[in-house]
Amino acid sequence: MGGTPLFIRKAHGSRIEDEDGNSYVDFVCSWGALILGSAFPRVTKMLHRQIPKGTTYGAPTKLEIELAEMITGAIRSIEKIRFVNSGTEASMSALRVARAFTKRKRILKFEGCYHGHADSLLVKGGSGMATFGAPDSAGVTEGAIADTIIASYNDLGTVKRIFEEHGDEIAAVIIEPVAANMGVVPPLNGFIHGLRTVTKQHGALLVFDEVITGFRVSYGGAQNTFGIKPDLTCLGKIIGGGLPVGAYGGRTEIMDQVAPLGPAYQAGTLSGNPLTMAAGIATLRELRKRNFYRRLEKKSNVLHRRLSEAAEAVNCKFKVNRVGSMLGLFFTDRNVVDYSSAKSTDTESYRVFFHSMLSRGIYLPPSAFETTFISAAHSKSDIEKCASAAKEGFRAVMTKGASS
């Protein structure tokens, strides 16, 4: 987006403050991790209680078991789970296990879906790679991506044709069930269910990357919303309560491939550390309270409507893709359904809009291909402040268009 990045010194609730003392309403929410907002009292209380007991042991803890039981209770497809330190580790490890279980090499992923920065997954990965216009990453060898097959998101026909040709070579299909790294792009009707069918037909595993959607779109994740049971699931962000975390899990017979029970090695010094586990437990306790997601949906719907109305008032070409408390903001008059249509949107208009909003105290994702998040901490006045700023932001976009 240009300009100087904000350096943050503190945050609380829906507000974030930079080193220059400027305060903003935060719609980045640490890229979705802070569903309760920053410094939520019950989360910080759990951390203050744990810190004097030690920050890491390099050994299992009761907290690790408690969080694992909460997750497996919420996401029924996960029978066994392993904690790691990031979403990247979760995706990388899950695919290693998939290869070990199926004894196949190839992985199918989708354009614009980001699964972390493991070498084999840095192919048309969306997110920052889309922002900087890089289809691949420097330093990634041809050998590292040789077994990665690319398909277009929401194009089930292409997936079927790929399986007809390479079905006995594909270990797994990995997908964000709601794409959130090319802006928010929901699956078309039948797409996710079609993937479940074709993977079963060919003996491949279906891996849901729910690092973003897990505990975001519902307590049971996107798989609960869509009624799909993947073989493996990757988690992160929310389950750590704002601390570094990742996890992967699935059916027992698959997860038993992980050492020491099986031949697929994975370990990490700080995996499952007690601080992260404590913050995750405190967070999930709040999320399972009655009507939590109903209230979050309500305020997200209000922001969606107010942004659309503000753009329409000045005839600005603008669309919002929304799934729950995740919003994708696109400057276009066409539907955004895949990576190609996301890349064809007007990113220069988003840049103008971003800086206009920032100057009015609204912190949006500094990329046209990232997700705007709503948290439980956002108030009616926060939504109103954003809507009011957006009116001026859309006018700035239209003025830019008239002068160019």
Tell me the catalytic residues: 114, 209, 237
| Residue at 107: amino acid letter | I
Q: What gap in Å lies between CA 174 and CA 307, rounded to an integer?
A: 32
Determine contact, residues 191/156, Cβ cutoff 8 Å. Answer: yes
Per the structure block, which two tokens stand in for 29? 């929410």
Q: What gap in Å lies between CA 134 and CA 245, rounded to an integer?
A: 27
Number of Cβ within 10 Å of residue 300's Cβ equals 23
> Nearest 5°: phi and psi at 253?
-65, -30
